[in-house]
A and B are shown apart, each in its own frame.
Chain A
């Protein structure tokens, strides 16, 4: 089953990044010889245009991070294809694509090597891809990158532990930008930060997007952050995308019961509005990803579950306007 997940209106141009039927199964040992597949990512398809942000939300363990890592071949995909500007990325040519696709990591504390100075960290991609001729050129590029992310370029000789969380995340972003990528995967890049710092970093991501025409895959579990950042949002549940649409569309007409409950769980800063809104509380347990139900993976917790849901897997279909939903009851 191949889905055309390109949003309407952009049909004429090839998307920057296209993921088709991506699968990532992990073998989990059960006894000496038998093993079970843990389906971390199962048949995920989406595409991202140039300069666009796709938000990816879902609860812990639903495979968001695995999608990001598999796209960069940090994990070998079990199945499916990843295309960049129409060219398929394979184990062999991934080295060249590492210049076009980069990643900003979640934890600003463990994602920077404590034994390296900032200029070493930011300059490492330059070293690996040999993107400079002279030492001077390298230093100039590092300075430029540090200023781009709002860091004092005098701090290039310092070590990562001398910076605060927000500054460290800026270093991580500068490192990702060093090779002039066109596409950046932000893997929960702000979830380890303070709210006020989050705002700074998010705004910086937006500024950089405008300046450098970057496309983002913005992975987060905070639906507020994703909504602020993204042009489109994809909601994941147990390794599958269950709903994908334009951001406003998803906020206003969430169709899938899981998306509805996710949105109802968003904390509202104003107590009066909060009292008026109804919270949808899900019952039941998340099934084990090693033993998924034959039908819809959400059927164990779904408030509108029918018999069809238990037996048949709902396909992700376009309900018009590029709003994709995988649910039998819509």
Chain B
């Protein structure tokens, strides 16, 4: 018996069932006893006999097969450890060098913005001081240079932390300002994407799941918001909100966050959820078609349970990925708003406002433009590559 026979036999029997019963697929329900044929069955070879039993019989010639031994069966059982969707995706993500590199850069930047303010003895808003005295000579220093007062102090044996990126035009340490700017940018980016995610997810899933007239009305609203010129609207909203919010938040905790920051969040919340809502709706429309949703309904599952357990988990990868890609675009928007002077309030720096200040002095002190710009590029690029990597690893449609 060659190996192919064995395999065929294995397929036909299956481990739990009785061989005879398994193979007796007499599909017409005609009496499966051999006798009711006119043919001279005795003269025919064995295997033909079996086939002549009934018109529609799918009977298989048993003489060609032998039972598989326990050993044969053992060979066909190939166990692999159970794998989850997450494990598979992570393994794939780890193979993507570019995405891994950007993940490492992102982690590095996030660690930096958390610990750097604790290590560097300067503050983002105060002028460099030497021995408790404001150092007015420490203006516009190039990277790793010291002012005259600091030089003296070093000669007297004091240790002074270097100005890694130099100082700005008011004598503030530039490195810590860039770090704080990055902090603001990343916080704004993440929060804005989170707001976009929440609104888009709710809106999109309601619209997609219920469909029909609900969907029609909700999506026309999205179309209207989508057709507004966003830059113009962002500028208008920032100006208007700034005035409204200043009155509203005086005396509350939100005051410390600053009106501009809050208006930025509102701008994102109002404008950028539409593409997320469309994406979620589209995903839900396609996932809804699957039979497992119908199966859940036939079991009596409620709409909430179906959305929670069946629909959302199956669109989650696409949604998470597009949220990751939303972060750099929010950072970008924040940067250009700050660049236009509509972003965070001074003295709180943001990468955009730092770049704007740097632009004014580009000929004399190019490093003041270069550092924040590099930071913006680094964050945006690595978020984009990270998001791309996530998509390649987790989007089921791109799986090979």
Binding site for B on A (CB under 8 A): 69, 72, 74, 94-95, 98-99, 102-103, 105-107, 110-116, 124-125, 128-129, 150, 157-159, 162, 172, 175, 179, 195-197, 199-200, 202-203, 224-225, 227-228, 247-248, 251, 266, 268-270, 273, 277
Contact = CB atoms under 8 A, between A and B. Distances in A.
Contact of A128 (B56, B291, B299, B314): B299
A100 B298 CA distance: 11
A114 B11 CA distance: 25
Contacts of A277: 55
B82 A128 contact: no
Nearest to A124: B299
B2 interface: no
B11 A269 contact: no
B252 interface: no
A179 B301 CA distance: 13
7 contacts: A113-B290, A124-B309, A159-B82, A172-B295, A203-B17, A203-B22, A273-B55
B28 A200 contact: no
B13 to A, nearest CB: 9
B347 interface: no
Contact of A251 (B11, B28, B296): B28
Contacts of B169: none
The 9 closest A-B pairs by CB, nearest first: A111-B291, A98-B300, A224-B27, A228-B27, A115-B313, A113-B292, A199-B25, A110-B291, A150-B16
Interface in B295-340: 295-301, 305, 309-310, 313-314
Contacts of B301: 124, 128
Contacts of A196: 11-12
Interface string B68-84: 00000000000000111
A158 B29 contact: no
A196 to B, nearest CB: 5
A70 to B, nearest CB: 12
B299 A105 contact: no
A228 B291 contact: no
A199 B21 CA distance: 10
Nearest to A277: B55
Nearest to B287: A113
B392 interface: no
B22 to A, nearest CB: 6
A128 B309 CA distance: 12
B202 to A, nearest CB: 21
B294 interface: yes
Contacts of A179: 299
A225 B27 CA distance: 6
Interface string B200-243: 00000000000000000000000000000000000000000000
B292 A110 contact: yes
Q: How large is the interface on B (under 10, 10 to 19, 20 to 34, 35 or more residues)?
A: 35 or more
B26 interface: yes
Nearest to B12: A196
B116 interface: no
Interface string B27-61: 11100000000000000000000011001111000
Contact of A74 (B52, B294, B313): B294
Contacts of B55: 268, 270, 273, 277
A114 B85 contact: yes
B121 interface: no
Contacts of A107: 291
Given A98-B299, A162-B83, A247-B29, A200 B291 contact: no
A159 B27 contact: no
Given A107-B291, A179-B299, A268 B11 contact: no
Interface in B240-261: none
B366 interface: no
A240 B246 CA distance: 71
Contact of B295 (A111, A115, A195, A269): A111
A110 B17 CA distance: 27
Given A106-B291, A107-B291, A203-B17, A228 B299 contact: no
Contact of B57 (A103, A113, A172, A269): A269
A175 B295 contact: yes
B314 A115 contact: yes
A158 B25 contact: no
Contacts of A159: 82-85
Contacts of A199: 12, 22-23, 25, 58
Given A102-B298, A114-B314, A196-B12, 18 more contacts: A98-B299, A98-B300, A102-B299, A105-B295, A112-B292, A114-B85, A129-B300, A159-B82, A179-B299, A197-B11, A199-B25, A227-B56, A228-B29, A247-B29, A248-B29, A268-B56, A269-B58, A270-B55
Contacts of B313: 113, 115
Contacts of A200: 14, 17, 22
A285 B22 CA distance: 40
A74 B22 contact: no
Contact of A270 (B21, B51, B310): B51
A14 B330 CA distance: 67
Given A128-B305, A150-B17, A248-B29, A98 B298 contact: yes
A99 B299 CA distance: 8
Nearest to A94: B300
